[in-house]
Amino acid sequence: MPENLDAIFKPRSIAVVGTSRKDGTIGREILYNLVAYGFNGPVYPVNPKAAYVNSIKCYPSISAIPDKVDLAIIVIPKEQVLSVVEECGEKGVKGIVVISAGFKEIGEKGIQLEKELVRMIKKYGIRLVGPNCMGVINTAKDIRMDATFGSTLPLDGQVGFMSQSGALGNIILEYADELKIGFSKFVSMGNKADVSGNDLLMDFEDDENTKIILMYLESFGNPRKFTKIARRLTKKKPIIAVKAGRTLAGARAASSHTGALAGLDVAVDALFEQCGVLRATSIEELFDYAVAFSNQPLPKGKKVAIVTNAGGPGIIATDACVSLGLKMSTFDKETYKKLEEILPEEASTQNPVDILGDGGPKRYEKALDVVLKDINVDSVITIFVPPLMSKALDVAVAISKVSANYDKPVLGCFMGREEVLTSIQELEKNNIPAYLFPESAAKSIAGMYKYRELSKRSEGNIVHFEVEKKKVKSIIDNALSAGKGYLSQDEVRGILEAYGFKYPETQLVKNEEEAVNSANRIGFPVVLKIASLDIIHKSDAGGVVIDLEDEGDLRAAFKKVISNVKSNAPEAKIDGVMVQKMVKGGRETILGMSLDASFGPLIMFGLGGIYVEVLKDVSFRIAPITDLDASDMVKSVKSYPLLKGVRGEKPVDIEEIEKYIQRLSRLVEDFPEIEEMDINPFVVFEKGRCCNVVDARIKIERSYKQNKF
Ligand SMILES: Nc1ncnc2c1ncn2[C@@H]1O[C@H](COP(=O)(O)OP(=O)(O)O)[C@@H](O)[C@H]1O
Ligand SMILES: [Mg+2]
């Protein structure tokens, strides 16, 4: 199979199989678009029942075409698709786009048909887009191919777009046309039987015309491959994605904290974050980003200035910027002075700069120029609310004129519909993104800034640790053959210690006397905990008593633990009681892993203890975790400042935490049988004292196979 997609994107001739004389049919629309957009080569309609379509000579079959055909667009009932594909193969066609539906998306019968389709193209070395899609576009000057049935012809530009939904594809083409966004390539992927999102990413990576990549995704075929490609690609070109649909992680009942917290969409968020992909929450936001990215330079920093003719929208924009992590610029003294000179007394020279409702084009022009000149300004949002006396169009002209002189992003926000329409068009003509509301402008700047930061960060390394893999393998194999799901405390400890984790001293005892002996040996204060495979959350069953100072405390606690468990969990089989050294000081965190159906192991870090599910202060990344991922994970929990120490507290050893996150990642990568695990609490200390696993559980599963991904 050819690796590249030239057969799809650079055909020298195209056949449309199943075109028709009837107006409004898909086959006819495609033929029309190919011709109307000016495809740089011959187009052959194929239909046994017509001699001509759209004044072009029509052929009864692919094999009846006397010349060579590079690409075939197939728009015929699904039953006939296979035989036509075979005919294409015999004729030497190397690229096929199957528009026809009725394959995988309809269930069992369609799945079979799709499998046969894939077998057929493999046999002939054909690359295929679809089935069940709306076609492909390549606007490159030497190709000019619009092989879609879209109702608008595309503008050419820098955006490479892939959409998993055909229906949305057409709306996207229309919307882009309205916003004057031009495409380099546009692909409706359909069922992705052959050409996948990853294939397209690789194509867009090498495509000089593609500067920005937009994706509408419903599922990931191969998330691991996506990670690899996207991590590399986002260093060069921004990828902005809308991911619809939900991952399965949330649908599974989870008994671990990590599983419960790994809600609906965290895997996708984690994946995008790790790869530097910007996530848009809606198609609208996707295009808000697209207009900004395709028309303006990236901001070099996070300092924003706002120039407005109305106070309210200026405040809204300020709030939006700040809440998105941007900063409002504090201007140079010189800037304030100049603003005072050019603005009326009642105007505000502070950021947001309010030039007042009677501010016309001249005032905009001067104020914007002064502000853009200031080195404390990385980007500007200009807001215009049409009052009676000002002319919106002239203001738009003024903004466009000034912003062309600076290499800083300037975004417009013209509030209103009808009355500002021509001015919005004027801005768009001059490559100034125009938004209806200040929040959208703020979001776009924040997105551009975030992308700039993401693209600059290093890729990170998978660090190698000394571990005892064999030891863990034998524990897991034994447990599997005993039919265990949850592992015993001893097994969990054996596994974690083999991967470098440290426990406070712990001993399993069978009766009160043994507990006393053990505590004397370990040294008070100690903790007692019930040991039972049937009890997952020990404190819930009254099975944990902490901070026992002496033998008297201990004896009382022992009786209490046993009687609590007997009444709270009468069915549980008690294996004994654990005596554990009481860990003093430090901070309780949680380390965990849960398995996502399509992304594999998700690693979690956060604030631990018994309130973890209430506080939900956790972060996720997909394994394997690089040193950089681990550092990002720790930094992105809200309580990070607590770890760094507040009010004179010593900071905890953050590097140590990062190392253990990576060790955990290594463990779950090495043992795909591990289905879920929690280390909670994982107690962390200041530098010089080792982190402690105070409590951990691991669930394993035999049927889980790594090749699931
Ligand atoms: N050895 C210990 N030292 C200090 N605190 C402990 C110790 N063991 C348990 N705790 C405290 O008791 C809580 C519950 O104990 P844990 O062993 O995590 O049981 P479970 O999570 O099953 O209820 C922990 O979150 C921690 O706050
Ligand atoms: Mg616990």
Poorest-pLDDT segment among 147-151, 313-317, 598-602, 637-641: 598-602
**Domain stop point among 210, 231, 255:** 210
For residue 552, report the distance from its CA to the centre of ligand 1, in Å: 21
**Whether pLDDT at 218 is above 50:** yes
Name the domain count of the chain. Answer: 4
Taking phi first (over 0 means left), then psi (-120 to 50 degrees means alpha), and beta for anything else, what does residue 284 get? alpha
Give Cα separations from 481 to 486, 670, 700, 701 (angstroms): 13, 19, 11, 11
Q: What is the CATH number of the domain that holds 607?
A: 3.30.470.20
**Whether pLDDT at 433 is above 80:** yes
| pLDDT (average), residues 346-360 | 92
Please tell me the number of the ligand nearest to residue 546's CA: 1
> What is the pLDDT confidence band of residue 7, given thresholds at 50, 70 and 90?
very high
- State the closest ligand 1 atom to the C-alpha of 584, by its place in the atom list counted from 1: 4
Residues 28 and 154 in one domain: yes
In a domain, 467, yes or no: no
Poorest-pLDDT segment among 222-226, 354-358, 571-575: 222-226
H helix or E strand, kind and range, residue 309: none
**Within 10 A of 202 (CB to CB), how many other CB atoms are there?**
18
Q: Identify whether the C-beta of residue 643 lies closer than 8 Å to the C-beta of residue 651.
A: yes
Peptide bond into 504 cis (omega under 30): no
Q: What is the CATH number of the domain that holds 120?
A: 3.40.50.720
Of 257 and 122, the one with more pLDDT: 122
**Whether pLDDT at 430 is above 90:** no
pLDDT of residue 648: 82
For residue 683, report the distance from its CA to the centre of ligand 2, in Å: 11
**Whether pLDDT at 255 is above 70:** no
Q: Tell me which of 610, 680, 697, 699 to substitute to probe ligand 1's pocket, judged by most ligand atoms within 8 Å of the beta carbon.
A: 610
Residue-wise DSSP of 429-460: HTT--EESSHHHHHHHHHHHHHHHHHHHS---
**Whether pLDDT at 275 is above 80:** yes
Give per-residue pLDDT as tens, 230-241.
989 999 999 999
Strand ranges in 224-265 using DSSP code E only, listed in sequence order? 239-243
Q: Identify whether the C-beta of residue 236 lies closer than 8 Å to the C-beta of residue 210.
A: no
Residues 141 and 38 in one domain: yes
In a domain, 488, yes or no: no
**Whether pLDDT at 248 is above 60:** no
**Residue 226: partners with Cβ closer than 8 Å, 6 or more residues away:** 197, 198, 201, 220, 271, 275
Residues 50 and 180 in one domain: yes
Residue-level length of the chain: 709
**Whether pLDDT at 326 is above 70:** yes
Q: Identify whether the C-beta of residue 234 lies closer than 8 Å to the C-beta of residue 240.
A: no
In a domain, 279, yes or no: no
Residues 300 and 369 in one domain: yes
Of 358 and 99, the one with more pLDDT: 99
DSSP 352: S
Residues 577 and 541 in one domain: yes
Residues 511 and 621 in one domain: no
pLDDT of residue 389: 60
| Nearest Cα residue to 544 out of 644, 680, 438 | 680
Residues 553 and 650 in one domain: no
Please tell me the number of the ligand nearest to residue 531's CA: 1
Q: Is 182's C-beta closer than 6 angstroms to any atom of ligand 1?
A: no
- Please name the residue ranges forming H helices in 430-538: 438-456, 469-481, 489-498, 512-522
Residues 537 and 603 in one domain: no
- Per-chain mean pLDDT for the chain: 91
Residues 307 and 449 in one domain: yes
For residue 627, report the distance from its CA to the centre of ligand 2, in Å: 26
> What is the pLDDT confidence band of residue 250, given thresholds at 50, 70 and 90?
very low
| pLDDT (average), residues 543-571 | 95
pLDDT of residue 705: 47
> What is the pLDDT confidence band of residue 351, given thresholds at 50, 70 and 90?
very high
Task: Quote the Cα angle for 576-580-584, to 5°.
Answer: 155
Q: How many helices (H) and strands (E) does the chain have?
A: 24, 30
Residues 306 and 449 in one domain: yes
For residue 657, report the distance from its CA to the centre of ligand 1, in Å: 19
Start-to-end Cα distance in the chain:
22
Q: What is the CATH number of the domain that holds 327?
A: 3.40.50.261
| pLDDT (average), residues 469-486 | 94
| Nearest Cα residue to 306 out of 210, 233, 381, 373 | 381
Q: Is 243's C-beta closer than 6 angstroms to any atom of ligand 1?
A: no
Task: Quote the Cα angle for 705-706-708, to 5°.
Answer: 75
The two three-digit tokens of residue 386, written as one number: 């049409």
> What is the pLDDT confidence band of residue 701, given thresholds at 50, 70 and 90?
confident
Q: Is 628's C-beta closer than 6 angstroms to any atom of ligand 1?
A: no
pTM: 0.85
Q: Is 255's C-beta closer than 6 angstroms to any atom of ligand 1?
A: no
Q: Is 56's C-beta closer than 6 angstroms to any atom of ligand 1?
A: no
For residue 648, report the distance from its CA to the centre of ligand 1, in Å: 26
Q: Which domain holds residue 619?
A: 587-708
**Whether pLDDT at 708 is above 60:** no
**Within 10 A of 270 (CB to CB), how many other CB atoms are there?**
23
Residues 547 and 632 in one domain: no
**Within 10 A of 628 (CB to CB), how many other CB atoms are there?**
16
Q: Is 532's C-beta closer than 6 angstroms to any atom of ligand 1?
A: no
Q: Is 537's C-beta closer than 6 angstroms to any atom of ligand 1?
A: yes
In a domain, 246, yes or no: no
Give per-residue pLDDT as tens, 135-145.
999 999 999 99
> What is the pLDDT confidence band of residue 416, given thresholds at 50, 70 and 90?
confident
Residues 566 and 592 in one domain: no
